[in-house]
Amino acid sequence: MNNIKNLHDPTLRPDFPVQIMAAPKHLYAKQEDKYIPITCLALLNNGTISYCMTVSDNGIKPIKNIEVYRFNRLTRKYTSQTGGTTE
């Protein structure tokens, strides 16, 4: 039987990824003036979810910026997940 009340592992760092899953399609993070594709979501040991991107050596790293956008290919616009539309 699984213990669903206590998912925290005290032997791991709080920012250690416990589970990594694929991100939904057309999900981007905005850094400076560029939109970077979000490739996966990581559930961390402290219970938070981190957005991640793929780096050049096929590893993943968390994205520090939390502005998340969804790209609509029909309108060719990025829509903020918190509301509003940009370029």
Give the mean pLDDT of the chain: 79
**Is pLDDT of 71 > 60?**
yes
DSSP secondary structure of 8-65 = --TTS-TT-EEEEEEPPTTEEEEETTEEEE--EEEEETTS-EEEEEE-TTS-EEE-S-
DSSP 79: E
Residue spans of the domains in the chain: they are 17-82
What's the pLDDT score for residue 50? 86
Is residue 28 within 8 Å of residue 46, measured between CB atoms? no
Residue range 45-64, pLDDT digits in tens = 888 888 888 888 888 888 87
Percent of the chain with pLDDT over 70: 80
What's the pLDDT score for residue 48? 84
